Structure 1
Amino acid sequence: MTRSQPRPAEHYIHAGGGVIVVPARVCAYLNRYAGLESFRRENGGRDAEVDAILLAFRVAEMTWRNAAIGTTKAAAPELAAHYEWLSTTQAASRLGITDRGVRSAIATGRLHAESIAGRWRISREALQHFRQGHTTETRTDTN
């Protein structure tokens, strides 16, 4: 599986450093794993500009999530929309890697998963984050 390199940080900075462009997938990642959604709910009303930016993160997250995991308007998703969880075998199949590779990514914290009844379960959203965020790794060991 070939992956493109991420853009350098300066590609996200505009207007002489006064504006940063954040991709929708990154908004979804930060909302879920950095707790920005909770922060928005708990601290709303303190700063109107911060409120607006965090709300924009939420809108971007929802737009990305609908495209990433499927909606009734999108093409049929791989799984029914109500079935969010994948096994390590299912995730491996979708990523084109081995089950052991998926478990390794979970163990090193690169792929978020939950242990349910002693078995790893990966959300479709976490799988998409892993797929998209995995761009920084290169296969130098095969050269």
Structure 2
Amino acid sequence: MSGREFRPPAAYVHGLDGPTVVVPGRVAAWLERHANLRQIRTGHRGADPEVDSVLVALAVAAAAWRQQTGVSSDHGTDQRKQPEHESESRLTTTQAANLLNITDRGVRAAIARHRLNAQRVGDQWLIDREDLEHFRAGRAA
């Protein structure tokens, strides 16, 4: 499975000895970025060994996804060989539109609908590469 199809929540729950949730690497990266899992992992280390192990496993899965997609965990920059105008860590709506093969207006609509995270800087929207990859994966589903 490519990880891009929508699956019902029950598809991620497994286990006979007790429920276990399987978390895709892209989702682990999203959680790490938006739920501050790194802070939780370091701030509560040692409180529960099983929780420690799961949080480390999520970090490993997130790192593997980032490596596979070429997205850096530090700045959201794409580490693959890119043309010069795409090598920055943040993209304009026009650059994002070109990478997604949609219009600039489509990118701005996704931002307005809160489907694509972006930051307003002056008179333009800037999009982190990792947020763009999450949006692309969700869009493909």
Please indicate the TM-score interval, normalised by the length of the shorter structure: 0.7 to 0.9
In the alignment, does 2:89 pair up with 1:84?
Answer: yes
Q: What is the match of residue 60 of structure 2? A: 59
Q: What is the match of residue 9 of structure 1? A: 9
The 3-state SS of whatever aligns with 2:127 is strand
Tell me, in whole angstroms, the C-alpha distance in 2 between the residues paired with 1:57 and 1:79: 32
Alignment coverage as a number of residue pairs: 131
Tell me, in whole angstroms, the C-alpha distance in 2 between the residues paired with 1:99 and 1:62: 30
Tell me, in whole angstroms, the C-alpha distance in 2 between the residues paired with 1:20 and 1:82: 36
- Call closer, same or farther: CA 1:41–1:120 in 2, change over 3 Å: same
The 3-state SS of whatever aligns with 2:126 is strand
The 3-state SS of whatever aligns with 2:125 is strand
Kindly report the root-mean-square deviation, in angstroms, between the aligned alpha carbons of the 2 structures: 2.4
Match of 1:130 among 105, 118, 135: 135
In the alignment, does 2:47 pair up with 1:49?
Answer: no
Question: Residues 69 and 125 of structure 1 are in contact (CA less than 8 Å); yes or no, is this contact kept in structure 2?
Answer: no
Gaps of at least 5 residues in structure 1 are: 137-143
- Call closer, same or farther: CA 1:63–1:33 in 2, change over 3 Å: same
Provide the identity percentage: 43
Per the TM alignment, residue 102 of structure 1 is displaced from its structure 2 partner at its CA by 0.6
Per the TM alignment, residue 77 of structure 1 is displaced from its structure 2 partner at its CA by 4.2
Counting only pairs closer than 5 Å after superposition, residues 99-138 of structure 1 correspond to structure 2 as: 99-135=104-140
Tell me, in whole angstroms, the C-alpha distance in 2 between the residues paired with 1:52 and 1:10: 23
Per the TM alignment, residue 70 of structure 1 is displaced from its structure 2 partner at its CA by 5.2
Tell me, in whole angstroms, the C-alpha distance in 2 between the residues paired with 1:81 and 1:99: 16
In the alignment, does 2:69 pair up with 1:68?
Answer: yes
List, as ranges, runs of 4+ consecutive aligned residues in structure 1 with deviation greater than 6 Å. Answer: none
- Call closer, same or farther: CA 1:78–1:60 in 2, change over 3 Å: farther
TM-score when normalising by structure 1 = 0.80
The 3-state SS of whatever aligns with 1:38 is helix
- Call closer, same or farther: CA 1:54–1:80 in 2, change over 3 Å: farther
